[in-house]
Structure 1
C-alpha cells in the first residue's frame, strides 16, 4: 500500500493539475504511475499483464509518450493498491486532461507529430532556454519576419498555408505574457541578427521587437558575438524545456532536416545544459543586448539613404 508520503505526493502543490495542459498531464500521470509501480515492487511486464499490454507500452505510458485509456489506469491503480478515492480521482482526472486536444489541434493538417510533441512541451514549460544559430527564435519573431522565414524555407506552400503557419507561431508566443509568463532565456548568434531575412524593413522591425521583448522581466536575450569564442558543439540550434512540475525531467529538443529529436535522459540533457551554460558565459551579457541591437538598427538605417542615392 502506498505510504502516507506518497499519498501526499499525489495531491502535492508543485503544479495546478486542474489546469495542466494535455502534455503536462500526460507526463505527470506517467511519472506517477511509474513511481507507484516501483513502490509496489512490480516490473513493467507485470504491469503490462494487468492491462493486457506489452512491456513496451508500459514504458511509453510512463514516459508520457502514449495516450491513456481510463480503464487501463483504473486497473493499474488497483494493481498498485491505490485505494483512496481522492487519490484515484486525482489521477483519473489527469487521464481526461491528458487526452484533451491542445489548442494546436486546429492546425492538425499542418503540424507533424514531432512538432505536436514540441508544442505540448512548450505549452507546459516553466523555463525555456534556447540557442539559435541562423534565425531569431520563434517565440521572439514578428509576423513579418516569421512569414519571411517560412517562405524562405518552403516555396511550395500556398498563401493560406503560410498565413496559418504564421498564426501558429504567433499563438505560441502567448506563453510569454500573463497569465503564463514562461521564463525565456534566448541566446542568439550575431549572424542571425545581421542576416537580412525579409529585407531591411522587416529586419528593422524584428530588431526593434527584440528590444521591446528584452525589457520583459521574464525574457533574457544574449548575443554571441561573431568575434567572440566559438564552440564546435554549437553548430545547431537546441532548446531545453523545464516543466512546472518538479517530478518531470528536463527535455532537450533538437531539430534536423527530417524532423526533430527529444532527449529526457539526464545523461543526455546534462550535455545540452553544459552547452547552454557555456554559451551564456561567452555571449555578451544581457545588459549589452540593447546596445548591440541598436547598433545593428543604426547600420540598417545608415544603409538605406545610401541605397536610395544609388538608385537615384
Structure 2
C-alpha cells in the first residue's frame, strides 16, 4: 500500500474508515484469504469482516494489527501506520457535538461531503443544503421541525451553515455542481423577502470559481430526474469509490455499485443537457427576481 501523509488523508472518521477498510480488503484478496478465515483470526465472523471492509464500524486496533499480519504485511512501520490511522478513524466526528439531534446516517454523510473533491447535486423542490441562505434554511427547518424547540432549530441551522465552509476552505476545496429544477425558485419558503435573499445568494455563489449552478426550466418538460433529488460524491482517493446519496424522511441511502453509479451519472448528464448553461444561470435568476420577487 502506498504511504499517505496526514495531509493526504481524507477528513472525517467515516471516509477514513472506508479507506482503511478498502485497503484491508485489497490485502485480504491479494493474500487469497476468505472473509470466513479472516473472521476467525479476529474471533469474529465473515459478516464482521464485511462491515470492517465497508467502513461501517469502528476498529479494534488489535484486529487491524492481526489482520495485516495474517495478510502478509511484515513491515512493522506500515502496520503501526495503519493502527494509528485506525485510532484516528475511531475519533469523534467534527459533528459529534450535534449528536443529540443529528442521526448517525446523516453525520456519516456530512463526513463524506466534507471529504469529497466533487459534489454534484440535483434538487427539485428546495435549494441544496450547501446553497441555502440562513433565512431560507430557517424557513425550511420551521416547516419540517415546527414542533421542535427553537434552540434545536438554531443548532440545525448552525450545522447547515457550517457545511458551507467546505466551499471556501483554502485547501482541498471541492467542486460543487448543482442542478435545480425551476420549481425550487418558485416555492416561496419564508415569503418573498426570504426568496429574494436566497436567489441573491445563488447569484453570489455563481461568482465562485468552484461552484457551478444550472436551472432546469419548466419549458424543458419532463426529464430523467423528475421527482428524485440525489447527490453524487466523488473523492480524490482511489480507495474511495463514488457514492450516490438519496435522502428520505427517516434516513439516507448510499448507492455504491458500479451499475447504480452509472445510472445516476447518466441521469445527471441528461439533466445538465436540459438545463440552462452555467453562463446563462445568472440571467435566469435575475429574470426570476424581477418577475416574481421584485
Shared fold (TM-score, shorter chain, > 0.5): yes
Match of 2:12 among 21, 38, 46: 21
* Partner SS for 2:220: coil
Q: How does 1:45-124 map to 2 (within 5 A)?
A: 45-124=36-115
Mapped contact 2:225–2:271 kept (Cα < 8 A)? no
Match of 2:252 among 250, 254, 260: 260
Mapped to 2, the partners of 1:233 and 1:214 lie a distance apart of 23
Mapped to 2, the partners of 1:172 and 1:240 lie a distance apart of 16
Aligned to 2:152: 161
Aligned to 2:290: 298
Aligned to 1:225: 217
Mapped to 2, the partners of 1:53 and 1:168 lie a distance apart of 37
When the two structures are aligned, how many residues end up with a matched partner? Answer: 293
* Partner SS for 2:101: coil
Aligned to 1:238: 230
Mapped contact 1:21–1:97 kept (Cα < 8 A)? no
Match of 2:191 among 199, 213, 218: 199
Distance apart, 1:209 and its partner CA: 0.5
List 4+ stretches of structure 1 deviating above 3 A. 12-15
Aligned to 1:309: none
Alpha-carbon deviations, 1:149-204, whole Å to 9, x = none? 01112211111011000000001111111224211100000010111111111100
Mapped to 2, the partners of 1:233 and 1:215 lie a distance apart of 26
* Partner SS for 2:85: helix
Distance apart, 1:20 and its partner CA: 3.5
Aligned to 2:270: 278
TM-score normalized with structure 1 length: 0.90
Q: How does 1:123-162 map to 2 (within 5 A)?
A: 123-162=114-153
Mapped to 1, the partners of 2:216 and 2:110 lie a distance apart of 26
TM-score normalized with structure 2 length: 0.96
Mapped contact 1:142–1:209 kept (Cα < 8 A)? yes
Aligned to 2:242: 250
Mapped contact 1:234–1:275 kept (Cα < 8 A)? no
Mapped to 1, the partners of 2:57 and 2:3 lie a distance apart of 23
Match of 1:211 among 195, 203, 206: 203
Aligned to 1:308: none
Mapped to 1, the partners of 2:234 and 2:288 lie a distance apart of 32
Mapped contact 1:24–1:124 kept (Cα < 8 A)? yes
- Uncovered stretches (5+) of structure 1, i.e. residues with no partner: 1-8, 303-312
- CA-based RMSD of the aligned residues comes to 1.6
* Partner SS for 1:187: strand
